[in-house]
């Protein structure tokens, strides 16, 4: 067996939802496909001989003191075009926000040069923030959507990209929608084929995603046609589901049932489906998610602005065994960082458990057993995201892709408060997750390829 990369370092990876394994000074042997062939821990008898064998290899890297490995972050919900308005315009409810700010911005991506500029910057910045896999909504424009897939391919990010479908002339502005239902479906099919061809040229994988924006944007004919296309090509599906009171209510009025059942009627809930938000699912809806293998993209920062409520993350993960990853929802969420969303997932879950209205007694205020631990939120950001996408990513473990980050704890501009060289590694892990900044993320690999070192991302001349 030849290896393309042999790394010696201390890493942290989820064993299951609750437990994080500490792999102290382990050896990670990466094969030619960028897949982890072996993880050898120090206690194993072969450790010394394997270390001696590869230590002098040109493919051997030993992490320095104060450097740690984490699996790459999986972002299950990014609106790439909205990067241009990130950090602004979060002051009005969802429907108004879409029509006032978001649709006019997304319409601009008919201009390929603009798309190129924003998407190149976004993918580079996401890699720098530790996001090794991104599930993206682009816009209705086929060409600009394909540019995003090409940029992911070129920069080495694992990108899953959807050309957005919004074909209902009643619901979408004339300046920003598909020309007709037929056009929307034809463009989606052509897009799927083009991205599948592009995928053949990449190591890490780029994937087309069937993407009805949300039920309010689409005619029944489009939803039906998209379900059929997803089945024909066996591709991923993404949409928004039961995000806000308004959106949830709109679907109930139109179909007399909830989003989940309406989407399922069109063949849009399946093992490779990832639905954003889902804050207003009922227990029947959640059961349907479990039965169909549909995953949730939990976007806790965005939810604080638009969702009118907190997702019962723990209940869905434990009682319903749903697949759940995290998403930034750029730009419904202002942050590009999944680290920030790990923190917010923990904080929101604690607010759900305790409740927020102090005029109520503590026994009436919250939803018991709702809070999640940092380990649990980390699981959703990594292994949970991989499971949602049905891809072997999100763990530093044999058989998984080498998607990994080196976090350096002692960079001068963002030194983590570690003063005791013998500090328990479980505590170091918590500091890495709660306190790392982009400056701490030194190296980023996707599928065994180094795609970012601090200050420079593939294809960026900076």
Binding site for ligand GUN (CB under 6 A): 79, 94, 98, 102, 213-214, 240, 243, 302, 306, 329, 332
CA 331 – CA 316 distance, rounded (Å): 25
Q: For the CB of residue 95, give the shortest distance to Fe ion in the complex, in Å.
A: 13
Q: For the CB of residue 333, give the shortest distance to Fe ion in the complex, in Å.
A: 9
**Contacts (Cβ under 8 Å, ≥6 apart) of 253:** none
Kindly tell me which of 90 and 446 has the beta carbon lying closer to ligand GUN.
Answer: 90
Kindly tell me which of 124 and 276 has the beta carbon lying closer to Fe ion.
Answer: 276
What are the CA-CA distances from residue 381 to residues 136, 274, 298 (Å)? 16, 14, 9
Q: Which residue is nearest to Fe ion (CB)?
A: 329
Which of the ranges 96-104, 181-189, 248-256, 274-282 carries the binding residues for Fe ion, by CB under 5 A?
A: 274-282
Kindly tell me which of 205 and 212 has the beta carbon lying closer to ligand GUN.
Answer: 212
Q: For the CB of residue 331, give the shortest distance to Fe ion in the complex, in Å.
A: 9
DSSP element (H, E) containing 119 = helix 112-128
Q: Which residue is nearest to ligand GUN (CB)?
A: 332
Q: For the CB of residue 137, give the shortest distance to ligand GUN in the complex, in Å.
A: 7
CA 75 – CA 299 distance, rounded (Å): 9
177 close to 163: Cβ distance less than 8 angstroms? no
Query: What is the secondary structure of 416-443 as a DSSP string?
Result: -----TT--HHHHHHHHHHH--GGGEEE
Q: For the CB of residue 217, give the shortest distance to ligand GUN in the complex, in Å.
A: 7
Instruction: Identify the residue among 75, 189, 329, 376 touching Fe ion (CB under 5 A).
Output: 329
**Which of ligand GUN, Fe ion, none does residue 243 bind (CB under 5 to 8 Å by kind)?**
ligand GUN
307 close to 244: Cβ distance less than 8 angstroms? yes
Which of the ranges 41-49, 256-264, 322-330, 424-432 carries the binding residues for Fe ion, by CB under 5 A?
A: 322-330
- Pairing relation of β-strands 295-298 and 20-30? unpaired
Kindly tell me which of 108 and 203 has the beta carbon lying closer to ligand GUN.
Answer: 108
Q: For the CB of residue 8, give the shortest distance to ligand GUN in the complex, in Å.
A: 42
Q: By CB neighbour count within 10 A (0-12 exposed, 13-18 middle, 19+ buried), where does 291 fall?
A: exposed
CA 90 – CA 103 distance, rounded (Å): 14
DSSP element (H, E) containing 28 = strand 20-30
Q: For the CB of residue 123, give the shortest distance to ligand GUN in the complex, in Å.
A: 19
**Which of ligand GUN, Fe ion, none does residue 403 bind (CB under 5 to 8 Å by kind)?**
none
Residues found near Fe ion in the complex (CB under 5 A): 276, 329
């Amino acid at each position: 067996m030849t290896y393309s990369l042999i790394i010696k370092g201390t890493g942290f990876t989820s064993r299951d939802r609750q437990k994080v394994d500490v792999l102290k000074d382990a050896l990670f042997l990466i094969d030619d496909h960028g897949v982890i062939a072996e993880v050898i821990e120090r206690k194993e008898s072969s450790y010394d001989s394997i270390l001696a064998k590869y230590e002098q290899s040109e493919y051997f890297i030993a992490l320095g003191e104060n450097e740690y490995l984490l699996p790459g972050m999986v972002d299950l919900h990014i609106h790439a075009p909205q990067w241009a308005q990130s950090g602004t315009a979060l002051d009005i409810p969802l429907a108004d926000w879409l029509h006032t700010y978001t649709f006019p911005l997304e319409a601009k991506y008919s201009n390929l040069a603009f798309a190129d500029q924003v998407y190149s910057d976004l993918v580079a910045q996401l890699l720098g923030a530790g996001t090794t896999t991104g599930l993206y909504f682009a816009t209705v424009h086929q060409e600009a959507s394909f540019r995003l897939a090409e940029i992911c391919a070129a920069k080495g990010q694992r990108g899953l990209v959807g050309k957005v479908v919004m074909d209902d002339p009643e619901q979408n502005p004339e300046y920003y929608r598909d020309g007709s239902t037929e056009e929307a479906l034809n463009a989606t099919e052509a897009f799927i084929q083009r991205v599948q061809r592009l995928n053949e040229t990449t190591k890490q994988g780029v994937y087309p995603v069937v993407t009805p924006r949300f039920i309010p944007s689409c005619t029944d004919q489009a939803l039906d046609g998209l379900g059929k296309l997803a089945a024909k090509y066996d591709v991923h599906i993404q949409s928004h589901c039961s995000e806000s009171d308004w959106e949830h209510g709109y679907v109930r009025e139109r179909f007399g049932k909830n989003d989940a059942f309406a989407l399922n009627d069109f063949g849009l809930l399946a093992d490779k489906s990832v639905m954003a938000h889902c804050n207003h699912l009922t227990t029947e809806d959640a059961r349907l998610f479990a039965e169909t293998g549909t995953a949730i993209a939990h976007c806790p920062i965005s939810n604080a602005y638009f969702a009118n409520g907190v997702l019962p993350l723990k209940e869905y993960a434990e009682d319903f065994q749903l697949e759940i990853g995290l998403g930034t929802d750029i730009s419904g969420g202002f942050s590009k960082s999944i680290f920030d969303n790990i923190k917010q997932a923990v904080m929101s879950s604690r607010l759900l458990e305790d409740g927020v209205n102090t005029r109520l007694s503590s026994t009436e205020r919250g939803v018991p057993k709702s809070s999640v631990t940092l380990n649990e939120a980390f699981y959703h950001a990594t292994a949970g995201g991989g499971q949602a996408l049905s891809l072997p990513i999100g763990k530093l473990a044999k058989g998984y892709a080498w998607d990994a980050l080196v976090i350096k704890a002692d960079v001068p501009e963002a030194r983590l408060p570690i003063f005791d060289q013998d500090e328990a590694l479980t505590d170091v892990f918590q500091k890495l997750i709660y306190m790392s900044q982009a400056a701490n993320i030194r190296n980023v690999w996707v599928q065994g390829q180094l795609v970012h070192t601090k200050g420079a991302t593939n294809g960026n001349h900076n």
